[in-house]
């Protein structure tokens, strides 16, 4: 018992100091805040990317934006580029223009048609050309030209329509009135010399005939170019039956004659010749209700009376054959067939409809973008040049105008992830090709080749780097003496910090050209180096203990390294010899035997050989991935408690058994993390792939060709994509896919890792 005067212990000695408490609480919140902030940031990035991609999946928005009472039911309707002033044509000399801006109407008369008896006509939206045929067997045409005029003080503007007449030609073949016409024109303002043609049907029934008038812009003696006829060809004898419809492609290279028995004859024009190429039968003997060429001129859309709708495209059955039509897809049926048809001049969408139905469709994906039942019967319709408006004439004498908002018709889940039969292709496939040379290019937005490319690149990178990195980590953690380890680890870390653009540069301009002619050497090295090490190991084990004890534990690498180099060098030297034995290619023309792997591979496997291939990518990505995996795996292995390794060694386990039975299981979750981080590095790696992977989005596992990965594709194409375009948003979608790909993999891996850790945890 301490006396009253004894020094009392501090009564506060059991209390925790205020500072400690405060600091503790602060740190608790700080860490919590940090963690939550990271999660929010990641989710935020995800949502930002996803937000850009979401509009891709909206369907078309089509809304009525005005109507004008016309009082007539016109068979032909045309419109200016902006959908402001459609015109109606009923087969006379008169054109009626309806102004949707101020609701006024205006009439124009074609002077040359004053007293003519028009028996057939057709309108071509691409050139705004109306072609007509007369009772006396002549054909002619005129262009409708809209000119924008401005007020003097430039405060307002209006459209001034005009008619430009073109020459009239007499059809030489056949007799009777012209019963069908179609105009094809390859010329453009820059090159007016392009060929043109007019397909004409004359007469009906037994006496019906079809002929082609071939035209050319030719310079006359006086100087100005003039449209002249260069010949006429009678096609009648080559037809499958009496023609019901004639169609010339807008570029004038192709003629389709639909006969009344349902056959379609396809003729191709080659300068002065018109040759029959093919006859095909879309709806089993039934005459299609509607046959029209789609924008781009290699596809036709056909609709039968009962509403089946198909797309036929020109493609080659095999690499040698000529291009013929074949059915590439069927659209969802249109309940009442298609009386109305008009295709967009911007993309592959078209409008079709009949009997109350109107439908906006996109041919590439076969998607219905918009479909509606209207309270009138559409009889004619057209999409304006900018694909922003739809003008539809109804049987009620009213012209309806619709505002079309469909910025991304090319986008759909099927286009991104499904097989699509593109125009000119030999079948449905996954394809990525976002931009093309011409305006009528059909974009191909399948993400599958990119996903495949990402996985392929990762696969080859990991195939090479996982064994190397893990074996190196095991060797360093369990075998190497500390003094050597102290040098190796920082070296690996320097390797990890090499900028990947340097690696990519090396891969593309040094490794790829070197490896191209040394594939057999590389194969031999891959085989011989590990084998030589195994061989040394075997021999070493056979040596008497006295000799083996000469080398301290962990010093064996001094022995192994020279042998490895020796065999690596031998492999390199012997490669061409092996090439001469196994990889002999027979030149098909001369029959010569040449030892060349780059030629042998395509001949033997039918797969391509490219200089910038997966082997190169695998090696170089290995350089980026190996240090990552090595460092983390080495740490995990080194952190296995010494008491465990010592215990197993004391029980007579050799070093390899210590590694295998004790260190690997205990470190397995750490090693797994290392692999996952390596995987993440490989999937997201961009620069090496941009520079060394060739960049072709192919879907082949072939190790000797390249790939295009999601990440590389974004890096290459995003700077060129117009902001807000389908291409731009699709690139964001591919980023979302990449994001999901890695997070799904990481989540799976984390679950597995936790299991491993649970199973092998120490106390």
Which residues of this chain interact with another protein, rule CB under 8 A?
481-483, 544-546, 549-550, 553, 641-654, 657, 661-662, 665-666, 759-763
Q: Three-state SS for 83?
A: coil
Helix (H, G, I), strand (E, B) or coil at 141: strand
Give whichever of 374 and 649 is closer to another protein, judged by the CB atom. 649
Minimum distance from CB of 627 to another protein (Å)? Answer: 24
If the CB atoms of residues 99 and 661 are measured against another protein, the closer one turns out to be 661
Given the complex with another protein, which of 9 and 544 has the nearer CB atom?
544
> CB–CB of 99/79 below 8 Å?
no
Nearest to 414, CA basis, from 315, 296, 332: 332
* DSSP structure class, residue 429: B
Task: Write down the least CB distance from residue 531 to another protein, Å.
Answer: 24
Beta carbon nearer to another protein, 478 or 683: 478
Minimum distance between the CB of residue 552 and another protein, rounded to whole angstroms?
Answer: 9
Taking the complex as a whole, the smallest distance from the CB of residue 669 to another protein amounts, in Å, to 11
In angstroms, give the least distance from the CB of 485 to another protein: 9
Measured on CA atoms in the order 552, 557, 561, 567, is the torsion positive or negative? positive
Q: How far apart are the first and last CA of the chain?
A: 44
Element (H, E) at 304: none
User: How far apart are CB 642 and another protein at their closest, in Å?
Assistant: 8
Token pair belonging to 232: 């006429």
Query: In what helix (H) or strand (E) does residue 445 lie, and over which residues does it extend?
Result: strand 444-445
Nearer to another protein among residue 1 and residue 482 (C-beta): 482
Residue closer to another protein, measured from CB, 481 or 724: 481
Q: Which residues pair with 316 in a beta bridge?
A: 323
C-alpha gyration radius of the chain? 37
Minimum CB separation of residue 578 from another protein in Å reads 38
Among all chains, which residue has been given the structure tokens 């990317």? Answer: 49
Question: What are the angstrom distances between the C-alpha of 323 and each of 269, 317, 318, 442, 617?
Answer: 13, 7, 9, 18, 38
- Token digits of residue 347: 């993309």
| 513 or 641: CB nearest another protein | 641
The partner residues of 444 in beta bridges, in order of sequence, read 433
| Distance in Å, CB of 696 to another protein, minimum | 49
* Euclidean distance between CA atoms 567 and 410, whole angstroms: 55
Residue 633 C-beta: closest distance to another protein, Å: 18
Least distance from another protein to the Cβ atom of residue 448, Å: 43
Q: Which of 503, 531, 521, 644 is nearest to 576 (CA)?
A: 521
Q: Is 201 or 489 the residue whose CB approaches another protein more closely?
A: 489
| Nearer CB in complex with another protein: 128/668 | 668
- The dihedral through the CA atoms of 461, 464, 467, 471 has a sign that is negative
> Which 8-state DSSP code applies to residue 332?
P
Confirm if 351 and 372 have CB atoms less than 8 A apart: no
User: CB of 479: closest distance to another protein in angstroms?
Assistant: 12
CB of 480 to another protein, least distance (A): 11
Residues 8-35 as b/e (b if ≥16 CB within 10 A, e otherwise) read: eeeeeeeeeeeeeeeeeeeeeeeeeeee
- Name which of 1 and 650 has its Cβ closer to another protein: 650
- If the CB atoms of residues 222 and 650 are measured against another protein, the closer one turns out to be 650
Plot region of 621 (φ>0 → left; ψ -120 to 50 → alpha; else → beta): alpha
Residue 758 has which token pair? 């649970």
**Interatomic CA distance for residues 678 and 681, integer angstroms:** 5
Shortest spacing between CB 483 and another protein, in angstroms: 8
User: For residues 272 and 646, which CB has a smaller minimum distance to another protein in the complex?
Assistant: 646
CA neighbor of 340 nearest in space, from 69, 76, 68: 76
- Residue 739: CA atoms inside 13 Å, Cβ hemisphere, count? 17
Q: Which is nearer to another protein, 81 or 556 (CB)?
A: 556
Nearer to another protein, 574 or 653 (CB): 653
Q: Which is nearer to another protein, 87 or 479 (CB)?
A: 479
User: Which residues does 454 contact at the CB level (< 8 Å), separation at least 6?
Assistant: 683, 707, 709, 710, 711, 738, 741
Give min distance, CB of 759 to another protein, in A.
8
Beta carbon nearer to another protein, 271 or 650: 650
- Please list, in sequence order, all residues whose beta carbon lies within 8 angstroms of the beta carbon of residue 679, skipping any fewer than 6 positions away: 458, 462, 745, 749
Could you write out the DSSP letters of every residue in 662-728? IIHHHHHHHHHHHHHHHHHHHHH--HHHHHHSB--------TTS-B--HHHHHHHHGGGSPTTSHHH
C-alpha to C-alpha distance for 371 and 243, rounded to whole angstroms: 32
Could you tell me the two tokens for 439? 């305006």
Spacing of C-alpha 28 from chain mean position = 49
- Bridge partners of residue 324, in order along the sequence: 315
Measure Cα distances from 368 to 260, 297, 409, 412 in Å: 29, 21, 9, 10
Pairwise CA distance, residues 419 & 301, whole Å: 20
Closer by beta carbon to another protein, 368 or else 649: 649
């Amino acid at each position: 018992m301490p006396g009253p005067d004894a020094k009392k212990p501090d009564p506060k000695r059991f209390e925790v100091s205020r500072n400690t408490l405060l600091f503790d609480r602060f740190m608790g919140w700080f860490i919590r805040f940090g963690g939550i902030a990271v999660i929010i940031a990641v989710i935020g990035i995800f949502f930002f990317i996803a937000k850009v991609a979401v509009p891709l999946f909206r369907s078309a928005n089509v809304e009525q934006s005005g109507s004008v009472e016309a009082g007539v039911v016109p068979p032909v309707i045309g419109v200016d580029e902006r959908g402001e002033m459609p015109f109606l044509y009923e087969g006379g000399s008169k054109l009626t223009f309806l102004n949707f801006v101020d609701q006024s109407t205006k009439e124009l008369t074609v002077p040359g048609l004053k007293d003519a008896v028009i028996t057939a006509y057709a309108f071509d939206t691409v050139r705004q050309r109306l072609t007509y045929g007369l009772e006396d067997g002549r054909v002619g045409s005129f262009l409708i030209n809209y000119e924008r005029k401005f007020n003097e003080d430039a405060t307002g503007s209006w459209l001034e329509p005009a008619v430009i007449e073109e020459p009239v030609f007499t059809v030489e073949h056949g007799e009777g009135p012209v019963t069908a016409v179609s105009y094809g024109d390859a010329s453009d303002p820059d090159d007016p010399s392009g060929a043109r043609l007019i397909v004409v049907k004359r007469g009906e029934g037994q006496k019906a005939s079809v002929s082609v008038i071939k035209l050319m812009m030719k310079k006359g003696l006086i100087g100005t170019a003039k449209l002249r006829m260069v010949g006429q060809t009678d096609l009648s004898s080559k037809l499958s039956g009496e023609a019901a419809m004639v169609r010339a492609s807008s570029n004038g290279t192709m003629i389709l004659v639909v006969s009344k028995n349902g056959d379609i004859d396809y003729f191709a024009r080659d300068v002065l010749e018109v040759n029959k190429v093919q006859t095909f039968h879309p709806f089993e003997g039934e005459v299609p209700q509607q046959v029209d060429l789609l924008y781009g001129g290699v596809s036709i859309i056909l609709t039968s009376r009962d509403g089946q709708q198909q797309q036929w495209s020109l493609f080659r059955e095999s690499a040698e054959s000529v291009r013929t039509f074949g059915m590439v897809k069927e659209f969802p049926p249109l309940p009442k067939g298609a009386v109305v048809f008009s295709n967009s001049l911007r993309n592959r969408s078209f409008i079709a409809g009949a009997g109350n139905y109107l439908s906006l469709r996109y041919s590439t994906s076969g998607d219905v973008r918009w479909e509606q039942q209207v309270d009138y019967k559409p009889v004619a319709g057209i999409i304006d040049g900018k694909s922003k408006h739809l003008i539809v004439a109804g049987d009620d004498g009213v012209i309806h105008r619709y505002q079309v908002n469909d910025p991304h018709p090319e986008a759909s889940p099927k286009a991104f992830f499904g097989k699509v039969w593109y125009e000119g292709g030999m079948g449905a496939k996954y394809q990525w090709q976002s931009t093309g040379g011409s305006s009528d290019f059909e974009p191909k937005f399948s993400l599958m080749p990119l996903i495949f490319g990402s996985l392929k690149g990762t696969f080859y990178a990991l195939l090479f780097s996982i064994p190397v990195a893990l074996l190196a980590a095991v060797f360093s953690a369990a075998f190497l003496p500390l003094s050597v380890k102290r040098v190796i680890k920082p070296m690996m870390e320097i390797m990890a910090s090499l900028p990947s653009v340097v690696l990519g540069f090396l891969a593309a301009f040094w490794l790829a050209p070197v490896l191209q002619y040394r594939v057999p050497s590389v194969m031999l090295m891959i085989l011989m180096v590990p084998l030589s090490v195994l061989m040394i190991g075997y021999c070493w084990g056979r040596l008497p203990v006295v000799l083996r004890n000469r080398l301290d534990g962990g010093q064996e690498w001094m022995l192994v390294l020279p042998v490895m180099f020796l065999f690596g060098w031998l492999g390199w030297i012997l490669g061409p010899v092996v090439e001469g034995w196994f990889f002999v290619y027979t030149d098909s023309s001369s029959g010569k035997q040449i030892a060349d792997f780059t030629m042998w591979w395509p001949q033997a496997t039918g797969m391509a050989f490219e200089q910038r291939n997966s082997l190169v990518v695998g090696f170089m990505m290995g350089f980026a991935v190996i240090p990552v995996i090595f460092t983390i795996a080495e740490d995990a292995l080194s952190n296995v408690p010494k008491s465990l390794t010592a215990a197993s060694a004391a029980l007579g386990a050799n070093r390899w058994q210590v590694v295998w039975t004790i260190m690997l299981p205990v470190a397995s979750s750490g090693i797994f993390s290392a692999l996952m981080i390596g995987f993440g590095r490989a999937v997201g790696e961009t620069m090496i792939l941009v520079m060394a992977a060739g960049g072709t989005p192919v879907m082949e596992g072939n190790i000797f060709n390249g790939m295009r990965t999601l990440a590389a594709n974004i890096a290459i194409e995003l700077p060129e994509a117009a902001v807000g375009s389908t291409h731009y948003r699709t690139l964001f979608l591919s980023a979302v896919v990449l994001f999901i790909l890695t997070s799904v993999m990481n989540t799976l891996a984390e679950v597995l890792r936790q299991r491993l850790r649970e199973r092998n945890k120490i106390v």
